[in-house]
Amino acid sequence: MKVVLVGYMGSGKTSVGRELASKLNYAFVDLDDFIEASEEMSVSQLFSEKGEIYFRKKENQYLKELVRSEEKIVLATGGGTPCYGDSMDFLISEEKCVTVYLKTSNAVLSERLFLERNHRPLISHLENEQLLNDFIRKHLFERVFYYNKAEIVVDTDQQSPQEISEAIVVRLF
């Protein structure tokens, strides 16, 4: 079985994914890390040197490759992964794949992301928390349609990665 985590950047996909993989005794894979290793280039470099269309095609290709593998994995996707091409529909249609949306409020996302915005090219230009909150609200409005297609939705506000992963395990079995 594959457990695929979707949600906005800062929702905890990587932290929860590592914790969940440990609980399930599965391998953990971060899709962005997998892409970087496969392409021998950072995601930022791929965007700047080869463009977003190239990146999204590769992202979709590697997503399918990982989901179709025989390995039991917990896969943390990028925030935009389910929103491009046929990615989310593919994930939902795969028999041995369960999608989980880590639903996080604008307020919590803004708080988390403001502190680490300098490490995230998409939001590094936003100078204050209000601008960041507006950016997130707009993005979530565009993306929530895809995120809500997930088979399991878990509210993450005020919960630790351990509590979230436990809630997911309960829903899986």
User: Any residues with CB less than 8 A from the CB of 157 and at least 6 apart, and which?
Assistant: 104, 105, 108
Give the per-residue pLDDT at 47.
83
**Is position 32 annotated in a ligand binding site?**
yes
State yes or no: pLDDT of 163 exceeds 90: yes
pTM above 0.85, yes or no: yes
Q: Is 137 annotated as a binding residue?
A: no
Q: Is 157 annotated as a binding residue?
A: no
Share of the chain above pLDDT 90, in %: 84
CATH code assigned at 85: 3.40.50.300
According to the model, what pLDDT value does residue 107 have? Answer: 92
Q: Residue 159 annotated as binding?
A: yes
From CA 62, how far away is CA 32, in angstroms rounded? 10
Predicted local confidence at residue 52, as pLDDT? 85
Number of independent structural domains in the chain: 1
Domain that holds residue 46: 2-172
Q: Is 22 annotated in some ligand binding site?
A: no
120 annotated to a ligand binding site: yes
Coil/strand/helix, residue 125: coil
Region at 80 (left for phi over 0; alpha for psi -120 to 50; beta for the rest): alpha
pLDDT tens figures, 41-79: 998 888 889 988 999 999 999 999 999 999 999 999 999
Q: According to the annotation, is 10 in a ligand binding site?
A: yes
Q: Is 7 annotated as a binding residue?
A: no
